[in-house]
Amino acid sequence: MGLGCGAKCAKYILFVFNIIFFLLGGACLGVGIWVLLDSNASNWIDKLLNINSDVAGITSSFDVAGLLKTGAYMLIAGGGAVFVIGFLGCCGAVKEWRPLLVLYAILIGIIFIIEITGGVLAVVFNGRVQTEVKTYLTGTIKDKFDGKLNTSEPISLAWNYAMGELQCCGVTNGSDFNNASAWDKTVTYNGASVTVTYPLSCCKLTDSGKTKYKNGQIGSLSNSDYVDIANCVNSPSTTNANIDIGCYDKVKDLVMSYSSIVLGIGIGIAVVQLLGIIFACCLCRSITKNLNEVV
């Protein structure tokens, strides 16, 4: 006796869902293996990172090969997991084989439980996580930030771009730079070395300055790209510098502005996973029922 109408619908929906996962997982797995094995992959990344002349040479400060290798392993692990789960779902649905469907439902259920657990832990330990992140970021300023606007030091470069792009200063505020041990508290202004309290990347920018930051042209900034560069250097205040605006809160606000989208995607993924478990269980039940009727 064949499957009923409902079981057939569950079978084909399960197959369609999992063929998509199977193909996506295979694509990620393939890209990961290609990046890992192809010696020219790092050259392509170098070309992409060196498109703008202002950042040319900076990539030499990064372990591009190491980053690529780590990314490749992550793609292989994630893609491989999705590939295998998609394969189990497809084969289990097409062949109507209970062991594969049961294994598929169990794996999806484990992933679902891990996701729920992660979400709960994120809520419960939210305050502690924020404190740890702030401590870590403050430590990068203290130990690594060199104060040079056109620097090749990775951490300093990242902070310069973050503060210019987001128009903020430090983790909490500009006082975070008081303990920057790698910076001698000088900047180059009008061709001379000047002692300052805050780095130039904390100075407020005009629209032209913001555009240059967005385009990665930090090395071509001129005095006219700042709201009031002279006073920002000699007498910094909240009118000419972002010294009262922390980057952590800026990033947090930016992330929260997309929270509804992230929540929607998360709910969508959870619904798809639950449907996969339900369809697999329904199909298993129908297959078992048919076997009992045959016997």
pLDDT band at residue 282 using 50, 70 and 90 as cut-offs? confident
pLDDT at 174: 93
According to DSSP, the β-strands at 192-195 and 186-189 are: antiparallel
pLDDT at 54: 46
pLDDT (average), residues 118-142: 89
The domain limits of the chain are: 5-127+262-294, 146-255
**Alpha carbons 160 and 117: distance in angstroms, whole number:** 36
Residues 6+ apart with CB under 8 A from 280: 14, 89, 92, 93, 101, 102, 104, 105, 108
pLDDT at 55: 44
**Ramachandran sector of residue 147 (left: φ over 0; alpha: ψ -120 to 50; beta: rest):** left
Would the CA dihedral through 232, 234, 237, 242 be positive or negative?
A: positive
pLDDT tens track for 138-154: 999 999 999 888 787 88
Closest CA to 154 of 39, 64, 73, 71: 64
pLDDT at 217: 77
pLDDT band at residue 51 using 50, 70 and 90 as cut-offs? very low
pLDDT at 65: 59
- Would the pLDDT of 198 be above 70? yes
Name the average pLDDT for the chain.
Answer: 82
270 Cα distance to chain centroid: 20
pLDDT (average), residues 215-239: 87
**Strand, coil or helix: what is 278?**
helix
pTM of the model: 0.68
pLDDT at 159: 93
pLDDT tens track for 83-109: 888 888 888 888 878 888 889 889 989
**Alpha carbons 222 and 160: distance in angstroms, whole number:** 15
